[in-house]
Amino acid sequence: MKQLVIATHNPGKLREFLSLLAPQGFGVTSSGELGLPEPDEAADTFPGNARIKALAAAQASGLPALADDSGLSVAALGGGPGVFSARYAAGDYPSAFARIIEAARGADDWRAWFTCALCLARPDGSTATYIGQAYGRIAPAPHGAGGFGYDPVFIPDGYEQSYAELGPAVKDKISHRAQAIAQLKAVLKG
C-alpha cells in the first residue's frame, strides 16, 4: 500500500483529510503520530506555508507528505486574518468570533471566504500545490458545535447554516479543503 504522511498536528484537519482521502487506497499517518516537529510557518502566503510544512514532513519521514495551510478571510478586515487565522484566535475562538462579528457589523459587510493551499511534497524535494476556496458570509452569531476553528461563524454560499451546523456530510463536499483535495485526487490516481 502506498504511504502518505499528513503533515498536521491539528486533529480537526486530520479527521477531514482521513475522510477525504479514505477511498484513495493510501496508508495514512500524520506528523503528529510520528512525533515530527512543527516547522515555523515563516511565509506570509498560504502556498508558502503549505510548502514549508509538507517539505519538512517529507524530509523527516522519508515518505510523501501532504500539508495544508488554510484560513478565513473577512472582507471587513481587509481579507484578514487570512494566513494569520490560527494566530488571530490564539486558542480563544469565542473572542475571535466576537471580534470578527463586530467588524462585519461595523462595516455592514458580511462577506468572507476560506482558502486552503495543499502541498504534496516528496522526500526528493519536489512539490505540487493545489488551492481551494469557499465563499460565504459571517454568521451574526456563532452556531453549531461541529467542526473546528471558525466553522461556527462561516455560512457557505447557498446555505443558511454554519459549517459547524452543516457538519461533515456537507462540509466535506463543498469546503475549501475538499476542493483542493479534489484537484489532488486527480493527480494521485495517475
83 and 44 in contact (C-beta within 8 Å)? yes
Given candidates 47, 64, 71, 156, which one binds ligand IMP under the rule CB under 6 A? 71
10 binds ligand IMP (CB under 6 A): yes
Closest approach of ligand IMP to the CB of residue 62, in Å: 23
Collapsing DSSP to helix, strand or coil, 36 comes out as coil
Cell of residue 54, nine digits: 509538507
69 is catalytic: yes
Number of residue whose CB is nearest ligand IMP: 149
Burial class (CB in 10 A: 0-12, 13-18, 19+), 149: buried
128 and 187 in contact (C-beta within 8 Å)? yes
Preceding amide of 64 cis, omega within 30: no
Beta bridge pairs of residue 27: 3
70 binds ligand IMP (CB under 6 A): yes
Of the candidates 132, 137, 134, 93, the one whose C-alpha atom is nearest the C-alpha of residue 112 is 137
Write each residue from 81 to 100 as x if it is in contact with ligand IMP (CB under 6 A), else as -, in one continuous string. Answer: ----xx--x-----------
Around Cβ 104, how many Cβ atoms within 10 Å?
Answer: 22
Catalytic residue among 69, 92, 108, 109: 69
Closest approach of ligand IMP to the CB of residue 183, in Å: 17
69 binds ligand IMP (CB under 6 A): yes
Contacts of ligand IMP in 115-174 (CB under 6 A): 147-151, 163
Residues binding ligand IMP (CB under 6 A):
10, 41, 69-72, 85-86, 89, 114, 147-151, 163, 175, 177
Active site amino acids: 69
